[in-house]
Chains A and B, each alone.
Chain A
Amino acid sequence: MISRLQFLEDQDPKMIFIFGVTVVLTGLIIFFLSLIIISKISRTRDRRLKRKYWPYIKEHLAMIAIQSVVNEGVKYDYRRSLRFLMQIRNRSRKIAQWVLDEIMKQKANLTGEANKTMLKVYRDLNLKTYSLRKLKSFNSNTVARGIYELESMEQRDVFSKFYKFLGSKNTDLRMAARLGLTSLAPNPLSFLDHLKEELSEWEQMSIYNRLRSKHKDQLPDFSKFYYHEQPSAVAFCVEMTVRFNYFELIPQLIELLKTTKNRSMVIDALKELEAFQALPYVKRLIHKSNNPQTIISCLNFLAHIGDESCRSIFETFIEHKNFEVRMAAVGMAAKLNIEFESSSEELESMLLHHQNELIS
C-alpha cells in the first residue's frame, strides 16, 4: 500500500488528477449502466407478469361484476374468484396494484350493486393494507396516491391519518389530503382549520364536486369559515352558501357584510339568495362606500330586490364619475321600471342596452 502511494507521489499531479477523474467517470458509467439494466429487467418482468395475469384479473373481476348486476341464473362462485385474486395478489405488489387499479376503475364506472361489489372485493382482498402502506412512504407522490385510493374506496375510518399531510411541502400531497378529508371526514371542511395558503380555483371546483355528492345533512356549516384568515376560503364558503341554497345563513352573511373587505362578493351572494332582509343594509352601504365594485354590486342587488323607493339612489349614482357604476344605475332603473328622461346620448344608449337585455 505504502509503495503504491509512493508510486503516486512520484507521478505528475496532473496525471493523478486525470487518473482520479477516469476512475470516478468509469464508476458512474458502471452505476448508471447497472441502473438501466436493472430497470430493463424489472420492466420485462412486469410485462411478462402482466401478459400472464392481466387476462385472468379482468376475467375474474368481470365475472364478479356480472354476478352483481344479474342476480339470478348465474352459477358463479364468488369465493373461487376471490381465492384466485388473493393468490396472485400475494405474488407481487405490482400485481396487487393492478388488481386495485382495475377495481377502482370499475367502481368509478358503475353505480348501484356493481359499485358496492367492487368495494366488497377491495375489502375482501384486504387491499386497504396496500393503500395504507403507501401513506408511510417517503415519496410524496406515493402518499398522495395512497390517499386517493383510500378516498376512492370510501375508507372513512382512516380520514384522521390525512391531517398530518396538510402541512406537507409537496403541493400535490397537500391537495390530495384536503380532497381526501373533504370526502371522508365527518366535517368535510375540517381541513380549513389548518389552511395557510390560497385555495386554487381548481381545488375549489374539486371540493365543490365532492360536496355535491353528499347529503344535505353531511354538509358543513359554511358560516363557520366566514372569518377565515384566507380570503379564498371565505370566498369559497360564501359561494357554497349560494350553491347549496343555504337561506338560513342569510343573517350571518349580513353580519359578514359589516366587517369583510370583500363586500361585493357578499352582496352578490345575498342577491343570489334573494335576501330581502339585507335591503336596508345595502341601501345604507351604497352611500357609504367609495369602492365602485361594491357600489355596482349594491345596484345589481337593488335591481333584483329593490322597488320604486330606490329612485333617489338611481338619481345619485347616474351622475357617478365611474362609467360602470352609471351603467349599473341605469340597469337598476330599467329593471325596476323607474321612469326618467334621458338627458344625454350616453344615457340613451345605456338604457337601450339594458332594455334589449331585459327583452332577450
Chain B
Amino acid sequence: MEKKILVCEDDEVLGSMIKFKLGKDQLGLIESVNNGKDAKEAIETNDYSLIISDIHMPFISGLQLLEHVRAHQKKNTSFIILSAEGLESTVLEAFDLGVTDFLTKPFSPGELSMRVKRLLQAA
C-alpha cells in the first residue's frame, strides 16, 4: 500500500515545491495543507506514515501539531519539523516532544527527499 505523507507549510510556494518533489521521487501519496488547523483535521481522519510541518503556521504551530500527534498515540508516524530558526531551545523542545527529524531553513529539497526516503524505509 502506498504510504501517505502530509506536508503542512503555510508558504504556498515552498509547500507546493515540497509536494511536487516528494511526488516526483515517488515517495508516497502526498497531501498538503497550509495551516495548523487543517493539518489537525487531516491527521484525525487519515493515517499518515510521515508528517512534514513548518514550525510557524497559522492557528496551530508545528510543535503543537507534533504534541497533538504524539498525544493521540500515533507513535509510528514519523515527524519532520522545518524551521527557519535553529535555536537550540526550539530544537531540544522538538526532540523532547518526539520529533523524528529537524531541518533548518534554508534547506535543499533534494536533501529533504533523501531524509524522507530514509525515514520511510526505516519505518
Interface residues of A (CB under 8 A from B): 58, 61-62, 65-66, 69-70, 73, 102, 105-112, 114-115
A69 to B107, CA, bound (A): 12
Which listed residue, A62, A69, A73, A102, touches B109 by the CB 8 Å rule? Answer: A69
Q: Smallest Cβ distance from A51 to chain B, in angstroms?
A: 15
Known: A70-B20, A70-B24, A108-B84. 16 other contacts (CB 8 A): A62-B12, A62-B16, A62-B17, A65-B17, A66-B16, A66-B21, A69-B20, A107-B106, A108-B106, A109-B11, A110-B107, A110-B109, A111-B106, A112-B108, A114-B17, A115-B106
Which listed residue, A70, A105, A106, touches B21 by the CB 8 Å rule? Answer: A70
Report yes or no: B16 in contact with A108, Cβ–Cβ below 8 A: no
A111 surroundings in chain B (CB, below 8 A): 106-108
Could you give 9 example pairs across A and B, Cβ below 8 Å? A58-B13, A69-B110, A70-B21, A70-B24, A105-B11, A107-B106, A108-B84, A108-B105, A109-B14
A106 to B12, CA, bound (A): 10
Report yes or no: A66 in contact with B107, Cβ–Cβ below 8 A: no
Q: Given A58-B13, A62-B12, A62-B17, check contact A109 B24 (CB 8 Å).
A: no
Q: Residue of A at shortest CB range from B113?
A: A69
B24 surroundings in chain A (CB, below 8 A): 70, 73
Work out how many contacts link A and B, with CB atoms closer than 8 A.
55
Report yes or no: A109 in contact with B105, Cβ–Cβ below 8 A: yes
Interface of chain B residues 94 through 110 with chain A (CB within 8 A): 105-110
A102 surroundings in chain B (CB, below 8 A): 13
Q: Smallest Cβ distance from A273 to chain B, in angstroms?
A: 25
- The binding surface of chain B is classed by DSSP as helix
A108 surroundings in chain B (CB, below 8 A): 84, 105-106
- The binding surface of chain A is classed by DSSP as helix
Which listed residue, A61, A70, A73, touches B13 by the CB 8 Å rule? Answer: A61
Closest 7 CB pairs of A and B: A112-B108, A62-B13, A69-B109, A62-B16, A111-B106, A111-B108, A66-B20
Q: Given A69-B21, A70-B20, A73-B24, check contact A106 B108 (CB 8 Å).
A: no
Q: Smallest Cβ distance from B92 to chain A, in angstroms?
A: 21
B12 surroundings in chain A (CB, below 8 A): 58, 62
A110 to B106, CA, bound (A): 4
Q: Smallest Cβ distance from B102 to chain A, in angstroms?
A: 15
A329 to B75, CA, bound (A): 53
B11 surroundings in chain A (CB, below 8 A): 105, 109
Q: Residue of A at shortest CB range from B25?
A: A70
A72 to B4, CA, bound (A): 24
Q: Residue of B at shortest CB range from A60?
A: B13
A333 to B85, CA, bound (A): 42
Q: Smallest Cβ distance from B11 to chain A, in angstroms?
A: 7
Q: Given A58-B13, A61-B13, A102-B13, check contact A109 B21 (CB 8 Å).
A: no
A65 to B16, CA, bound (A): 9
Report yes or no: B109 in contact with A114, Cβ–Cβ below 8 A: yes
Q: Residue of B at shortest CB range from A103?
A: B13
A52 to B114, CA, bound (A): 37
A106 surroundings in chain B (CB, below 8 A): 13-14
B108 surroundings in chain A (CB, below 8 A): 110-112, 114
Q: Smallest Cβ distance from B48 to chain A, in angstroms?
A: 22
A110 to B13, CA, bound (A): 11
